[in-house]
Chain A
Amino acid sequence: MRIKGDVIYLNRKEWAASVEREHQERLALRRRVERGELTPAEANREASIFAHVPTVAEVPLNFDHILRNARSIRLAPKKNGRRKSKTVRA
């Protein structure tokens, strides 16, 4: 195997081995779908070039973003404090 930049060059034997490996992986996924361990959609995702895509539950909650937005929540009632004090002065 030779790697040049982003391209991987395989000889005939390595190519045949990689095709066989992919075939076996696909068969294994198919068996898992038949056994009910995966839904077809999940199997498709696993077979994709992006490999493992974490489920929603696996990713930690984005608390940084949630709390940054929550900081600006105003709980005190809005009042015209300054205007009132000006009225008293006048």
Chain B
Amino acid sequence: MADENRRQFALEELAPVFQAQERLGHSCILMGGQSVCHWARRFLDSEPALRELEREAPLLSKDVDFQGDRGAAIAFARALGRHAEVPDFRHAFGNLMAGKFSFPVGGAELNVEVLRKVPGLTPNLVIQLSTLEQSGAVVIRVLNPVGVVMAKAWNVVNITKEGRHDFEQLLIATVCLRAFFRSLFQYAEQVPPALRPGLKLVETALRFTELPAGRKAAEKCGVDWSQILPHNFIAASTRPELVRLREKRLPGWLAHLARYRRAVPGSETHRKMLAILARHAEPLCVRSEFRVPRSALP
């Protein structure tokens, strides 16, 4: 139950929780709001938009969500000296919850929830889109920005509940995704074989935005999917793979996105956040004549 007055936690406060995961060999994958906070902190210096977005929506979350099975949830709670509540046989069907427990952090109770699946992602994709990341003194297993954006977009489309911060977190995650792809391409400049699997991640993200879930997310919260790519970098690159992406794949993708009716947000915070994103948007790497003008659309 989302409660507006519940205390919010920063990522640094969750060190004991992550240490327990490290001891257990990373049996669970960090997802949800705290994964957005992790990536936002990582790219805070390279993306000026994130600094401004942070002022509108602080990088905090009310709880911490993991993906894992029932056994992992029980072991996780035990490692922290707690007892996990797991749904019984009658309630397990149709219930995503593998187990949950609370843990005292800084005088407040932190709710730790372990879900069997990440809504919006297939179990296989969850593994493929997860990575081991250094967070302070501990290593965490977390969904990468592609997975985070897909999961958050699913939440935006399918969950309508008061007090949730899915809209804000999705907008922050899209900026993180652009920074992630930029670092990926920069890495591929030094290590050329890295570009091919990197482009698989790019294609996964592009295909997702073309799906009904991507369209509905744009219609609901006004997210501009064209800004998930580092257009400046792609426009300047001479690597054949990136030239092919720029000249063959992106014109069609951008034409598809141009058909989306993006929502005008109701709340003041969302409006400010979208204005920040528009101010920091990169000019599209594709020439404008490739884009379908609005007047030509039915």
Contacts and interface: CB of A to CB of B under 8 A. Distances in A.
Interface residues of A, number: 22
A58 B203 CA distance: 28
12 contacts: A41-B13, A56-B38, A57-B44, A59-B134, A61-B183, A66-B131, A66-B201, A67-B194, A67-B197, A69-B127, A70-B128, A70-B200
B45 A57 contact: yes
A70 B137 contact: no
A73 interface: yes
Nearest to A50: B137
A67 B184 CA distance: 9
Contact of A56 (B130, B136, B183): B136
A71 B180 CA distance: 17
Interface in A32-85: 41, 45, 50, 53-57, 59, 61-63, 65-73, 75
A45 B216 CA distance: 43
Contact of B187 (A56, A61, A69): A61
Contacts of B134: 54, 56, 59, 62
B135 A56 contact: yes
Contacts of B13: 41
Nearest to B10: A41
Interface of B: 12-13, 38, 41-46, 125, 127-137, 144, 180, 183-184, 187, 191, 194, 197-198, 200-201, 203-204, 207
Contacts of A41: 12-13
Contacts of B133: 56, 59, 61-62
Given A63-B184, A63-B191, A73-B201, 8 more contacts: A41-B12, A50-B137, A56-B38, A56-B136, A59-B133, A61-B42, A63-B187, A65-B131
Nearest to A42: B12
A63 B194 CA distance: 8
Nearest to A69: B128
B114 to A, nearest CB: 21
A1 to B, nearest CB: 28
Given A56-B136, A62-B133, A73 B187 contact: no
B197 A71 contact: yes
Given A70-B200, A70-B201, A56 B41 contact: yes
Contacts of A45: 136-137
Nearest to A75: B203
B186 to A, nearest CB: 10
A73 B200 contact: yes
A67 B187 CA distance: 11
Nearest to B146: A70
Contacts of B194: 63, 67
A90 to B, nearest CB: 32
A53 B12 CA distance: 12
A63 B132 CA distance: 10
Leading 6 A-B pairs by shortest Cβ distance = A59-B134, A70-B197, A67-B197, A71-B197, A66-B131, A73-B200
Contacts of B127: 69
Contacts of A73: 125, 128, 197, 200-201, 204
A74 to B, nearest CB: 8
Interface in A2-52: 41, 45, 50
A41 to B, nearest CB: 5
Contacts of B46: 57
Most chain B CB inside 10 Å of its own CB: which residue of A45, A66, A72 = A66
